[in-house]
Chain A
């Protein structure tokens, strides 16, 4: 158990509405990540954070923003949700000081945009 929780676990929303997903960790890790999982694509990085207020874009960042005001929380926001953002979203933490230490994942959030 990597001490990662995600909320909500399931959400159904309508096109054009804003949505915020929360990732919470209890172990004080510096690096946190948001991935999305889609059939036929595996997992792809959306954004990541390397400290409080320090974030950067990943491979599929368009339409998403993130914030990290506290070490333990990493928020993913869809400013105006679209059907193409229907996906399962996973948060991850990197446990360890090395750049290639293992990432451990939260339980995921299933988001449906109608």
Chain B
């Protein structure tokens, strides 16, 4: 069965620290996609990245980077030089190509608090 685990419930850092959010997934499908969403205190869900199961290249976007490793079924998210505006709940999610409707399977989220 498909599953997404975000073992870190809450993380607190001080501004300018680097922080890594862990995501481990389970799937029997060979074709799947992984996502990260950000939910700031205002409550909306903001899409950050989508990655397919055939592309293990790491991705960098500004201060954000993602490390996808199929060998460990992980898709970790690193924020470099964190800022107060990064404070949010971050969700990792999985979508399987063969699943009807292709709903997203979410992890329970990691709450990141960045203090100044």
**Chain A interface (Cβ within 8 Å of chain B)?**
31, 33, 35, 40-45, 48, 50, 56, 58-59, 88, 90, 92, 94, 99-100, 102-105, 107-108
Contacts and interface: CB of A to CB of B under 8 A. Distances in A.
Closest 7 CB pairs of A and B: A42-B106, A105-B45, A45-B103, A100-B33, A99-B102, A43-B106, A42-B108
Interface in B31-83: 31-33, 35, 37, 43-45, 47, 50, 52
B108 A45 contact: no
Interface of B: 4, 31-33, 35, 37, 43-45, 47, 50, 52, 91, 93, 95-97, 100-104, 106-109
Nearest to B108: A42
Contacts of B100: 56
A12 B85 CA distance: 31
B91 A107 contact: no
Given A41-B108, A107-B44, A108-B44, A100 B103 contact: no
A35 B4 CA distance: 16
5 contacts: A42-B109, A88-B43, A100-B32, A100-B102, A103-B104
Contacts of A40: 108
A40 B110 CA distance: 10
A103 B44 CA distance: 13
